[in-house]
């Protein structure tokens, strides 16, 4: 059975907040809290008309990706006076196929296109089937007629069948102990809406410092627009038990931007970002909000790393920096993509030089961005000798590093061992450090325009 403990806590908190702070003269409003993991909590206040006793009430315009089991209702005008006895979620939306499906065994009118000099003709009859590209009608005069949908110009129906809705709708059987136009709040969760962080890093000419900025990107595919909504964002890995809902359909995206960096504060084991002002997030829209104004002069270190046992002979280029207040940062950085640029001095245009993703990163932590592979530093690895015994392997390696740049570089060579072995470096032409339980790191300085050879012998036992 699915666990809804997390959602019960979220919805209970929302209802308690509404009961404590709701006032009869409060205005209808929309608020939404969006999580990284493709879901959100929606809180919407509306004025609704109730009669004393039983009422059938429709709440239209909810997200099409709603989780109906998460809906919570509260009356803000007169708390406790309205109770929901039964709820139905109607999501069979009006479409050509849904209309025809509901009109089986009912009379329809069909206009069939003409051909050549023949004019179009009108056919009336009982719809027997609407399968794929064919309509099958039982007519009064012609008997059974099978029509290809490509030959159909129009279909006329008498009325809208019961059960079809134009927008996703919650239908409640409610019992009210008061009457009038009451302000009510509905809280529910929805899928197909997410947010992420996008960062921009612009290197200076010496590649020793950068300008750093960040944007929040909200991607709404939930099937609903949230107009003039108070928006909060939760950064962190929130555990959910329920299976994710499947995508209903493909959607096109549009771009938008809203000014005003959000307020950031710790929230339980996560971080909560509150946008500075209400904003509209339309359906099928990507909205961006700046949350880190450009910070200049952030110290950065460029590092060259070569791993001889992993993939092709390429020297990785990484940029390392620290998320500290002394560097102008020192903030909670949500997970997201970091795009790195550098200005071309010839025309002052920014050129893209690589990108990487970061995980949720608290303040005072170090970040490392793998932005690409070095063009002018070549590496060649040769396994010179390999001797195998009982539960022992001894291998000799030769690594040639060729620097075709006009300045000296330091290349870190990381020899990695499997977790199951004990290892030692028997001899080496360069000093090494034990970086962790599986890695021996050699620091090799390669002068401009020269070649340096690293040789070492390693023994693994198990």
CA distance 72 to 12: 8
Cα–Cα nearest to 195, from 240, 244, 231: 231
Does the pLDDT at position 19 exceed 50? Answer: no
Are 26 and 77 in the same domain? yes
Least confident stretch, 17-21, 105-109, 154-158: 17-21
Average pLDDT estimate for 138-163: 83
The answer as to whether 307 is a domain residue is no
Last-in-domain residue among 112, 129, 156: 156
CA distance 208 to 179: 69
Task: Identify the CATH number of the domain in which residue 117 sits.
Answer: 2.30.30.520
- Model confidence pTM above 0.85: no
Instruction: Check residue 251 and give its pLDDT.
Output: 35
Model confidence at 197, pLDDT cuts 50, 70, 90, reads: very high
Instruction: Check residue 165 and give its pLDDT.
Output: 67
Cα–Cα nearest to 66, from 187, 240, 183: 187
The answer as to whether 383 is a domain residue is yes
Write out pLDDT tens, residues 278-289: 999 999 999 998
Model confidence at 295, pLDDT cuts 50, 70, 90, reads: very high
Domain that holds residue 103: 96-156
Are 34 and 169 in the same domain? yes
Q: What is the DSSP letter of 16?
A: H
Asked whether the beta carbons of 317 and 371 are under 8 A apart, the reply is yes
The answer as to whether 403 is a domain residue is yes
Least confident stretch, 99-113, 285-299, 328-342, 398-412: 99-113
Last-in-domain residue among 156, 179, 206: 156
β-strand 432-436 against 366-373: which pairing, if any?
A: unpaired
Q: Give one DSSP letter per residue of 218-242, joined into a string.
A: EEE-SS--EEEEEEEEEES-----S
Are 173 and 104 in the same domain? no
β-strand 336-344 against 377-389: which pairing, if any?
A: unpaired
Q: CA angle, corner 289, sides to 287 and 290, nearest 5?
A: 150
Instruction: Check residue 21 and give its pLDDT.
Output: 42
Are 33 and 129 in the same domain? no
Question: What would the two tokens of residue 195 be?
Answer: 């947010």
Does the pLDDT at position 20 exceed 70? Answer: no
Least confident stretch, 19-28, 405-414, 428-437: 19-28
Sign of CA dihedral 90, 94, 100, 105: positive
The residue that leads in pLDDT, 212 or 161, is 212
Average pLDDT estimate for 196-201: 96
Are 19 and 147 in the same domain? no
Does the pLDDT at position 26 exceed 70? Answer: no
Are 74 and 115 in the same domain? no
Write out pLDDT tens, residues 399-420: 999 999 999 999 999 999 998 8
Give whichever of 140-144, 149-153, 253-257, 334-338 has the largest mean pLDDT: 334-338
Average pLDDT estimate for 357-381: 96
Does the pLDDT at position 256 exceed 60? Answer: no
Does the pLDDT at position 245 exceed 80? Answer: no
Instruction: Check residue 146 and give its pLDDT.
Output: 87
Are 173 and 73 in the same domain? yes
Sign of CA dihedral 328, 331, 334, 335: positive
The answer as to whether 418 is a domain residue is yes
Average pLDDT estimate for 255-263: 55
Average pLDDT estimate for 349-363: 96
Instruction: Check residue 250 and give its pLDDT.
Output: 34
Cα–Cα nearest to 219, from 31, 30, 34: 34
Average pLDDT estimate for 47-65: 94
Average pLDDT estimate for 108-134: 85
Task: Identify the CATH number of the domain in which residue 416 sits.
Answer: 2.60.40.290
Task: Identify the CATH number of the domain in which residue 172 sits.
Answer: 2.60.40
Are 132 and 177 in the same domain? no
Average pLDDT estimate for 299-316: 92
Average pLDDT estimate for 142-166: 81
Least confident stretch, 25-29, 114-118, 176-180, 231-235: 25-29
The answer as to whether 301 is a domain residue is no
Are 17 and 150 in the same domain? no
Instruction: Check residue 421 and give its pLDDT.
Output: 94
Are 84 and 100 in the same domain? no
Are 147 and 9 in the same domain? no
Instruction: Check residue 388 and give its pLDDT.
Output: 95
Which residues lie below 8 Å from residue 132, measured CB to CB, with a gap of 6+?
Answer: none
The answer as to whether 344 is a domain residue is no
Instruction: Check residue 6 and give its pLDDT.
Output: 45
The answer as to whether 372 is a domain residue is no
Residue 89, H or E segment: strand 82-90
Does the pLDDT at position 15 exceed 80? Answer: no
State the total domains in the chain: 3
Instruction: Check residue 4 and give its pLDDT.
Output: 46
The answer as to whether 221 is a domain residue is no
Question: What would the two tokens of residue 188 be?
Answer: 């529910």
Instruction: Check residue 216 and give its pLDDT.
Output: 92
Are 173 and 86 in the same domain? yes
Does the pLDDT at position 449 exceed 70? Answer: yes
């Amino acid at each position: 059975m699915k666990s809804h403990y997390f959602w019960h806590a979220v919805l209970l908190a929302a209802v308690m907040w509404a009961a404590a702070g709701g006032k009869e003269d409060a205005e209808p409003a929309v608020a939404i809290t969006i999580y990284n993991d493709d879901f959100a909590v929606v809180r919407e206040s509306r004025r609704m008309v109730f009669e004393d006793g039983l009422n059938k009430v429709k709440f239209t315009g909810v997200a099409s990706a709603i989780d109906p089991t998460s809906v919570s209702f509260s009356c803000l005008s007169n708390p406790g006076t309205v109770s929901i006895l039964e709820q139905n979620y109607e999501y069979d939306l009006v479409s050509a196929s849904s209309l025809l499906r509901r009109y089986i065994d009912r009379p329809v009118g069909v206009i069939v296109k003409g051909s050549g000099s023949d004019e179009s003709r009108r056919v009336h009859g009982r719809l027997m089937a609407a399968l794929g590209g064919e309509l099958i009608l039982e007519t009064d005069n012609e008997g059974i007629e099978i029509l290809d949908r490509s030959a159909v110009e129009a279909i006329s129906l008498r009325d809208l069948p019961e059960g079809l809705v134009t927008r996703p709708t919650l239908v409640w059987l409610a019992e009210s102990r008061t009457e009038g136009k009451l302000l009510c709040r509905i809280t529910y969760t929805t899928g197909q809406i997410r947010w992420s962080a996008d960062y921009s890093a612009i290197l200076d000419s010496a590649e020793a410092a950068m300008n750093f900025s960040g944007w929040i990107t909200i991607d709404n595919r939930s099937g609903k627009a949230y107009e003039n909504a108070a928006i909060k964002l939760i950064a962190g890995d929130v555990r959910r038990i329920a299976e994710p809902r499947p995508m209903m359909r493909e959607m096109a995206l549009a771009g938008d931007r809203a000014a005003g960096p959000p307020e950031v504060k710790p929230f339980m084991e996560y971080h909560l970002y509150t946008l500075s002002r209400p904003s509209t997030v339309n359906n099928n829209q990507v909205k961006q909000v700046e949350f880190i104004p450009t910070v200049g002069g952030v110290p950065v270190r460029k590092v060259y790393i070569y791993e001889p046992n992993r993939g092709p002979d390429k020297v990785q280029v990484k940029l390392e920096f620290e998320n500290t207040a002394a560097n102008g940062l020192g903030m909670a950085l949500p997970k997201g993509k970091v795009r790195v640029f550098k200005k071309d001095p010839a025309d002052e245009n920014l050129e893209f030089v690589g990108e990487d993703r970061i995980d949720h990163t608290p303040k005072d932590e170090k970040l490392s961005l793998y932005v690409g592979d070095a063009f002018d530093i070549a590496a060649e690895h040769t396994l010179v000798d390999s001797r195998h015994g009982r539960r022992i392997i001894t291998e000799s390696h030769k690594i040639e590093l060729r620097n075709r740049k006009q300045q000296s570089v330091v290349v870190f060579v990381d020899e990695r061992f499997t977790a199951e072995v004990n290892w030692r470096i028997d001899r080496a032409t360069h000093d090494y450090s034990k970086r962790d339980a599986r890695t021996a790191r050699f620091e090799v300085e390669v002068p401009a325009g020269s070649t340096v050879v690293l040789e070492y012998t390693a023994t693994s036992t198990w």
